[in-house]
Amino acid sequence: MTAPATDILAIGNAIVDVIAQAEDDFLIREKIYKGAMNLIDEPRAEHLFRVMGPATVISGGSAANTAVGAARLGARAGFIGKVKTDEIGRLFTHDIRAVGVAFATAPASDGPATARSFIFVTPDGERTMNTYLGACQNLTAADIDEATVRAAGIVYLEGYLWDPPAAKEAFVKAATIAHAAGRRVALTLSDSFCVDRYRAEFLELIRRKLVDIVFANESELHSLYQTADFDTAVAEFRKEGALGVCTRSEKGSIVVTAKGVEAVEAFPIERIVDTTGAGDLFAAGFLTGLARGASYRNCALLGAMAAAEVIQHIGARPESDLRQMAEQARLL
């Protein structure tokens, strides 16, 4: 097996985030489920843009955020996702390439606009997403370049990809190519509502060994196994045989293997501003550590450090020098 040319190749929805502060009563008035990712159509997107307060526009998308975080940690990162040849699509393309992430997916010349996610951040730092998938839904198996996938040490797939039907084929194609090349495949469950929609299919992906590494938070793990008891969910997770990583906010994270469960502490922070991207950056840190051959504990600490940085400011992309932070903490 040849050495990988790319450490981490992330495949997911190419989205630009439109972020605004909001009170809980605004979410209630607009009938928005707090803390979830709600899929919306174009008229709803236009309505929310009209009624939301002053906004910050930042390139986002779960897997794209992970690729950016990995690149900022010094990993060789790539991204596959679909934008349109519009202003927002050009913004996304510029932003992700500017931080050193390889991004060569051909943009769509027609069809729906580049995807946008309207993110409302409440005073407690909780983020609620309302996503218009737009051009994301045009991602197909034809966009998965075999040579690119074969050259990646770890292929990282976001659960949100399971929403657009054509993207499912792209998801499976990438995982199949990666395994044929002796590479590892990681999946993030993305959102508890996403798990509710596709629980049986996600479990099948894990049990068919189409994925080797699974990222989840507590609510996603509860949803996956339909239990309110965390220990029960973890016990079921262990049976799958995959490397499981579950984030638990201020409680830190746990790394689950067939051999046991290891708890890893959270990274200290001064205050929570916006939790957007916390899971994405945790995955970036963990996967970067894994690509470097670090212990699972150090992988989780690296993820905790990256997540701690991103939740202390608005937006899902890091603002500090993550690599320098990791070196100072002796995690790289």
Q: How many domains does the chain have?
A: 1
Q: What is the pLDDT of residues 11-38, one digit of tens each?
A: 999 999 899 999 999 999 999 999 888 8
Residue 269 lies in a domain: yes
Angle between helices 62-72 and 87-98 (to 10 degrees): 30
For residue 69, give every residue at least 6 positions away whose Cβ sits within 8 Å of its Cβ, in sequence order, or none.
Answer: 280, 281, 283, 284, 285, 288, 306, 310, 317, 318, 322
Residue 1 lies in a domain: no
Maximum CA extent, the chain: 56
- The partner residues of 155 in beta bridges, in order of sequence, read 9, 185
- Percent above pLDDT 90 for the chain: 83
Residue 153 lies in a domain: yes
For 36, phi and psi rounded to 5 degrees? Answer: -110, 170
**CATH number assigned to the domain comprising residue 15:** 3.40.1190.20
Q: What is the pLDDT of residues 53-98, one digit of tens each?
A: 899 888 889 999 999 999 999 999 999 999 999 999 999 999 999 9
Residue 200 lies in a domain: yes
Amino acid symbol at 307: A
Residue 76 lies in a domain: yes
C-alpha–C-alpha distance, residues 21 and 284, integer Å? 26
- The partner residues of 188 in beta bridges, in order of sequence, read 158, 215
C-alpha–C-alpha distance, residues 109 and 322, integer Å? 36
DSSP 214: E
pLDDT attached to residue 1: 67
Query: Which structural domain range is residue 52 located in?
Result: 6-328
Of 149, 91, 125, the residue nearest 22 (C-alpha): 125
- Mean pLDDT of the region 169-178: 96
pTM > 0.85: yes or no: yes
Of 170, 126, 201, the residue nearest 14 (C-alpha): 170
